[in-house]
Amino acid sequence: MNPREWAQRIVKGDIRAASRLMRDIDDRMPWVSDVLKELYPHTGSAYVVGVTGSPGVGKSTLVDWLIEVFRKKGLRIGVVVIDPTSPFTGGAILGDRIRMQRHSTDSSVFIRSLATRGSMGGLSRSTSDILRVMDAMGKDIILLETVGVGQDEVDVVNIAHTSMIVLIPGLGDDIQAIKAGILEIGDIFVINKCEREGAERMEREIMMMLELGAQRKDGWVPKIIKTEAIKGKGIKELVEAIEEHRAFQEDPERKRNFLQKVLKIELVTHLKDQISTRILDALGQEEGLSRAVDEIIAGEKDLYSKSEEILKQLMCQ
């Protein structure tokens, strides 16, 4: 099947074709780029909601409720769950997807797990391409749940229209849990398990830190929503906050600024990947990597000079 036929199947909602493509995107198979080129004109309509926070804060339970509420509104939902990488297979450990199995029979809900594969920042390297496939499938909302790596999990802001930070009281120093990096990226702060002692204090601390921090360039004032996801409490208010932020993002200038930011990051990432692949392929074909290392070990070249030499040779090809 040629790339155009494959893309047409996905645009029509063929789940098997989409699943195969997503698998090969994650495995970085060469053929997928031609299909992604065909799919690109069919993208740009989906709204991405990023859900991030430390492990155990209830992200998956919240996502499960969001699926239900958005489906009742008649929206088609995609879910991308970034899971920890299995040390044995290199694939995703599917704990989060198991929790969402009650939606598995709904043809308008598509759930995909991805492994981080060592990527920092809470996302997988193939995340943006997977989101684009779901977009082309006609999903209205895509929920992106990150792996939960802690304070450095900020990549979600570079890919999601709305970034939702999930916190819970009682994890020790609450301010430490929210201050480094995370505070700056949140459009909505969710205090889950709000029945616990310390929820009110955490809300006051977040409000204080938001007031003391620099005003956001886009003018949005982050919302703070308290939920008890296990019982479905606060979900209505959370959905309203997401919809309010989406309406705020509809401003043409804000939409353009967001698209510029996302595409700049994606373009640089793809360029780095292509250059890296070309270098490794060139070295591998000539067994040059081993020879280059031997030269460094022998003291004939230093690491930095050798890398510059390899890059120059590649650029001259």
Q: Residue 154's pLDDT is what?
A: 63
User: Does residue 128 lie within any of the structural domains?
Assistant: yes
Provide the whole-model pTM. Answer: 0.85
pLDDT of residue 172: 57
> Where does the pLDDT of residue 117 fall: very low under 50, low under 70, confident under 90, or very high at 90 and above?
low
Q: Is 169 found in the same domain as 67?
A: yes
Phi first, then psi: what are they for 88, rounded to 5°?
Answer: -100, -40
For residues 36 and 50, membership in a common domain is answered with no
Tokens representing residue 196 in the block: 């616990």
User: Residue 314 is which amino acid?
Assistant: L
Element (H, E) at 250: none
Does residue 56 have a pLDDT over 60? yes
Question: What's the chain's average pLDDT?
Answer: 83
Q: Cβ contacts of residue 131 below 8 Å, gap of 6+?
A: 46, 48, 78, 80, 142, 144, 159
CATH assignment of the domain containing 121:
3.40.50.300
**259, part of any domain:** no
pLDDT at 213: 74
| Beta bridge mates, 85 | 92
How many angstroms from the chain centroid is the CA of residue 184?
17
Higher pLDDT, 227 or 117: 227
Q: Establish if 257 belongs to a structural domain.
A: no
53-80: average pLDDT: 92
| pLDDT reading at 299 higher than 60 | yes
State which residues form the domain around 25. 1-41
Residue 270 sits in the same domain as residue 161: no
Query: Within this chain, do residues 205 and 279 fall inside the same structural domain, yes or no?
Result: no
Q: Residue 189 has which token pair?
A: 């702060």
Backbone torsions φ then ψ of 313, nearest 5 degrees = -60, -40
Q: Which of 207, 223, 250 is the last residue of a domain?
A: 250
Secondary structure element (H or E) that encloses residue 246, with its range: helix 235-249
Domains identified in the chain, total number:
3
- The answer to the question of residue 117 being in a domain is yes
Considering the domain architecture, whether residues 186 and 157 belong to the same structural domain is answered as yes
Q: Are residues 242 and 291 in the same domain?
A: no
Do residues 229 and 96 share a domain?
yes
The per-residue pLDDT for range 3-26, each reduced to its tens digit, is 999 999 999 999 999 999 999 998
d(CA 276, CA 274): 5
pLDDT of residue 179: 54
* Pick from 4-8, 135-139, 196-200: least confident: 196-200
Beta-bridge mates of residue 163? 50
Residue 88 scores a pLDDT above 70: no
Mean pLDDT of 95-118: 70
Task: Choose between 311 and 119: higher pLDDT.
Answer: 311
* Residues 168, 24 share a domain: no
Does residue 96 fall inside a structural domain? Answer: yes
Q: Give the helix/strand (H/E) hosting 85.
A: none
Residues near 167 by beta carbon (within 8 Å), at least 6 away in sequence: 53, 54, 57, 174, 177, 178, 189, 190, 191, 192, 202, 206
pLDDT surpasses 90 at 301: no
pLDDT at position 297: 93
Does residue 298 lie within any of the structural domains? yes
User: 181 and 111: one domain?
Assistant: yes
Q: Is residue 258 part of a domain?
A: no
**Residue 23 shares a structural domain with residue 68:** no
CA distance 212 to 206: 10
Which token pair is 38? 């065909």
Q: Are residues 105 and 226 in the same domain?
A: yes
pLDDT confidence of residue 40? 94
Count of CA atoms in the C-beta half-sphere (13 A) of 228? 7
Pick the residue with more confidence: 189 or 101? 189
Is 48 part of a structural domain of the chain? yes
Statement to judge: residues 237 and 114 lie in one domain? yes
